[in-house]
Chains A and B, each alone.
Chain A
Amino acid sequence: MEVIAFYIFALLAIVTSLLVVGQRNPMHSVMLLIASFGALAGLYVLLDAPFTAVTQIIIYAGAIMVLFLFVVMLLNLPREEPAPPAIAGRARPAGLKIAAVLSLLLAAELVWALSRIGLGWFAQDPAAASVSSVTRIGSRLFAQDGYAFAFEATSILILVAMIGAVVLARKEH
C-alpha cells in the first residue's frame, strides 16, 4: 500500500518537475511547481514526517509560490518564444552545452556517491520516526543547541531585508 503511494508521489514529483522546465507559459510552470511541492509533501508523509510535510505545504506551496504567482501574474510575463530552429552547422547556444555538462556531472556524482555509501544507509532507523514529533522539533529548535539565538538572529535578518526592500522599492516623493 505504502509502496504504491510512494511510486505515485515519486512519479508525480518527477514528472511535474520535468514539466516545470519544459513549459513555455510561466503560469503553467508555477502551477506545476506547486504540484511538485505537493507530491514532495506526500513523500514526507510516507516517511512518517507529517510536520515536515505540512510545513512544506504552508511555506513552499502556500506562501512562497503565491508570491511567485503574483509576480508572474502582475508582470504579465509573455509566453516564452520558442527557440529558433537550429541551423545546420551552427553551434547550439552555450547555455545549453553548459547545462548538459552540468547535469551529466551531477548524475555521475550522484551515482558515485550512492555507490560509495551503499543503499544500506537508507535502511530505516527506528529512532528516526520520533523526530517527526512536533514537541521534539520544538525543544530541539528552541531549548537545545543554541538554535534559539539563530532563530532570533534570523528575525533581524528578515527585518533588515524588509526595510531594504521597502526603502529601495518605494516611490520617490
Chain B
Amino acid sequence: MGWLPPAPVVAHLGLIFVIFNMLVLSAAFMVWLERKVCAYIQDRVGPNRVGFEGVLQPFADVIKLMFKEQLRPKAADTLLFAIAPVISAAAAFAAFAVVPFGTETTLFGLLDEPIPLQITDVNVAVLVIFAITSMGVYGIVLAGWSSNSKYSLLGGLRSSAQMISYELAYGLALAAVIMLAGSLSLREIVMNQAGTWWGFIPKWYLFLQPAGFLIYMIAGVAETNRAPFDFPEAEQELVAGYHTEYSSMSFALFFLAEYVNMVTVSAVATSLYLGGWLGPFLPDWLAWVWFLVKVFLLLFFYVWMRWTLPRYRYDQLMEFGWKWLLPAAVINLLATAALVLWLE
C-alpha cells in the first residue's frame, strides 16, 4: 500500500473529518435539545414525530430548507450576499481547530507516534480563538449590509456593535487565565489544571477565576448573539435581524454558525475553566467523555437561560457591556496579575 500517505497523516485527516461532522451533528442535536427543553419549560411536549422523541426533527428541517427556493433581494450585492453566510459558518468551525478534547492516543496501537485529540496544537491557541471570533463579525455585518434592507442593516449593525463591545471583556477574561497558566496553548492550559486541592477539589481555574468565568460566559453569550442578548432575533423590532432576507441553505448556514459558535464557546470555557478532558474514574483513552459531559452541561445552561430570561433592551445591553462588564474584567485582570506576582 505504498501509494497511501503515511499513517499519521491519514489519522489526522480522519480526525479532522470526525471533528467537522461532530460539530455539524452537535448543531443538529442542539436544535433538537433546544426545542425539547423549551417545550418542557413551557409545559409542552415538543417535537416527537420524526424519530424517537423527535431526534430526527433537525434533519427533517434541513431537508425542508434544502428544497426551499433561494431568494435574493433585487437590489442586494450579489457577491457579498452569497459570501456572508459562508464567512459566518467558516469562522464558527475554524475556531474549533485549536480546541483539545482528549489526551494523546495511538488509536489502539495503530500508530507508532501518539497523536493528540485536537486538530492542531499551536502555541498561541487562545489568541487564535480570539482572532477567529473577531472575524465572525464580518459575516453578520456583510449579511446586514448586502441585503439592502433596513431591517437587515439595523440588525447587522446591532449585532456587530454588540459583538465588538463584548469582545473586549471576552479577551480580558481570556488574558486572566493566560496569566495563571503562563501559556497560550489550550492543551497546556488544560494540563495545568490537573490534580486536586486537599484531595477532592479539582484544580480547575473556575475556582481561581470565578469572576473571570462569569465574565467569560456572559461575554460568550453576547458574542454568540444568544438570549438574553439575542438582538438579531428581536422580532418585534427587527423582523429577523441580519438574516431577514436569507432563505434556504444560506439561512441554514447562519443557523449552523450560531449553534457551532455556542459549542465552541462552551468547549473553550471547558478547556479554560473546567479542566477540559480531565476527570476522575475514566481511563485516559476515554477522557474525552468528560469533555463532552462538561460541554453538554454548559450547552444545556445556554438553552435553559434562553427560555428563562427575557431579552435585554439594546441600550441596557451596551451600558452593561461597557460600564459594568468591561471594568469588571479589567479589575479581574489586575487582581489576577497581582495574585500571580504575589505568588511568585
User: Are both chains from one complex?
Assistant: yes
- Residues of A whose CB lies within 8 Å of any CB of B are 25, 27-28, 31, 34, 50-51, 54-55, 57-58, 61-63, 66, 69-70, 73, 133-134
Of the A-B pairs whose beta carbons lie under 8 Å apart in the complex, a sample of 17, sorted by A's number, is: A27-B80, A27-B146, A28-B79, A50-B122, A50-B124, A54-B131, A57-B135, A61-B131, A61-B134, A62-B131, A62-B134, A62-B135, A63-B134, A66-B137, A66-B141, A66-B160, A70-B160
Q: How far is the CA of A31 from the CA of B138 in the complex (A)?
A: 9
The chain B residue with its CB closest to the CB of A61 is B135
B134 to chain A, nearest CB (A): 3
A70 to chain B, nearest CB (A): 8
Q: Chain A contacts of B80 at CB under 8 A?
A: 27-28, 31
Q: Chain B contacts of A57 at CB under 8 A?
A: 131-132, 134-135
Q: How far is the CA of A81 from the CA of B146 in the complex (A)?
A: 20
Known: A27-B77, A62-B131, A134-B184. A69 touches B141 (CB 8 A): yes
Encoded as 1 (CB less than 8 Å from any A CB) or 0, chain B from 117 to 135 comes to 0000011100110111011
- Residues of B whose CB lies within 8 Å of any CB of A are 77, 79-80, 83, 122-124, 127-128, 130-132, 134-135, 137-138, 141-142, 145-146, 160, 164, 184
Q: Are B123 and A50 in contact (CB under 8 A)?
A: yes
A13 to chain B, nearest CB (A): 17
Q: How far is the CA of A50 from the CA of B184 in the complex (A)?
A: 11
Q: Chain B contacts of A58 at CB under 8 A?
A: 127, 130-131, 134
Q: Are B123 and A31 in contact (CB under 8 A)?
A: no
Q: How far is the CA of A27 from the CA of B146 in the complex (A)?
A: 9
Known: A31-B80, A66-B160, A73-B145. A54 touches B127 (CB 8 A): yes
Q: How far is the CA of A55 from the CA of B134 in the complex (A)?
A: 12
Q: Chain B contacts of A50 at CB under 8 A?
A: 122-124, 128
Instruction: State which of A25, A27, A66 has its C-beta within 8 Å of the C-beta of B164.
Output: A66
Q: How far is the CA of A134 from the CA of B122 in the complex (A)?
A: 12
The chain A residue with its CB closest to the CB of B87 is A31
Q: Chain B contacts of A34 at CB under 8 A?
A: 138
The 7 nearest A-B residue pairs measured at CB:
A62-B134, A57-B131, A54-B127, A58-B131, A50-B124, A54-B124, A54-B131
The chain B residue with its CB closest to the CB of A51 is B124
The chain B residue with its CB closest to the CB of A49 is B124
The chain A residue with its CB closest to the CB of B182 is A135
Q: Are A73 and B141 in contact (CB under 8 A)?
A: yes
